[in-house]
Amino acid sequence: MDTVTYPHELVQNECQEHWLTIKIDVDQRSDVAAMCGIHGIPAVVAVDGSGKVLGTVLGYVEPKQFAKQLLQLRTR
């Protein structure tokens, strides 16, 4: 995800315009991983401003599909 999906223009545009992104090292912050129910990586957890989990994307996702999933999460 770091080398293909996240740097892709569609993903970058979606993230820069609509999301605050935070990357967490789950080895160093296992408490955060447990709180979010993350048991493997890569994993993306979308949370709204009130802390409500909007959804989770697990595993590798191609850039166009990932941008589409982010749009769907944001427009729920």
pLDDT of residue 62: 98
- Cβ–Cβ < 8 Å for 20, 27: no
How confident is the model over 14-36, as pLDDT tens digits?
A: 999 999 999 999 999 999 999 88
How confident is the model over 29-59, as pLDDT tens digits?
A: 999 999 888 988 999 999 988 988 999 999 9
pLDDT of residue 22: 92
Residue 61 scores a pLDDT above 90: yes
Instruction: State whether the Cα torsion 29-31-34-36 is positive or negative.
Output: negative
Q: How many residues does the chain have?
A: 76
The 10 Å Cβ neighbour count of residue 33 is 19
The residue ranges of every structural domain in the chain are 9-74
Residue 76 scores a pLDDT above 90: no
